Amino acid sequence: MPESSPSSERPPFARVEERERMVSTQLEARDIVAPRVLAAMREVPRHEFVPADLQAIAYRDGPLPIGHEVTISQPYIVALMTQLAEVEPGQRVLDVGTGSGYQAAVLSAMGAEVYGIEIIEPLAASAVARLERLGYAATIRHGDGYRGWPEHAPFAAIVLAAAPTQIPEPLIEQLQVGGRLVLPVGPRYLQDLVVVTRSAHGWQQQRVTPVAFVAMTGEAAQRPPTMAR
């Protein structure tokens, strides 16, 4: 599959006022305070990442279906996970469950070196084409993200957009020291958003808030359910 690459110039993005309203009412009005996260959410044209018949409601406060029984997360959750990842410009980041490519675009807009994995091949292919068309640099491949992408590890941050019932150990192992894994963990409808931080002596876990994501498929679905530790 071809990989996305940056365009020399990004096209002008429409619906600026809708993005401004989204940021002010859904993000700044809550607890999203990181300036670069807010700037990226203002820039990235969310309506380009949803089906044409849903573009009119792309900036509403909620998830939207993108086909294949998966969704694009609500803007607040994307911003929260990005803020928790604490990504700095130039850092290498892994986006597991790339979907439409929206999270990858936000990370790219923040100056990260973005790698993404999507298990549904048509979504992976469309994400590559979409990111290239919009001018966001990211390397996306089709595959099961449970074991990450060891060829490009270590990562400063890994963001996972589907919920395993336990934290995938291979993803923790691909974090650099000080790196952060941000993911939902748990069975359907009983998930927590979790941040795992790797240190020189192991890793620490912080539960942030209850969330509801689609279940992680592939190898993750074959693992026995356990409590997030």
C-alpha 4/C-alpha 126 separation (Å) is 10
C-alpha 132/C-alpha 4 separation (Å) is 5
Q: At what angle are helices 102-109 and 75-85 packed, to 10 degrees?
A: 50
Task: Looking at 44-120, list the stretches that DSSP marks H as alpha helix, in order from N- to C-terminal side.
Answer: 75-85, 102-109
H or E element that contains 221: helix 219-222
Closest CA to 41 of 124, 123, 128, 103: 103
H or E element that contains 140: strand 139-142
Catalytic residue status for 73: yes
Does residue 116 sit in helix, strand or coil?
Answer: strand
Q: At what angle are helices 75-85 and 35-43 packed, to 10 degrees?
A: 140
Q: Are the C-beta atoms of residues 168 and 147 closer than 8 Å to each other?
A: yes
Catalytic residue among 4, 5, 73, 126: 73
**Residues belonging to the active site:** 73
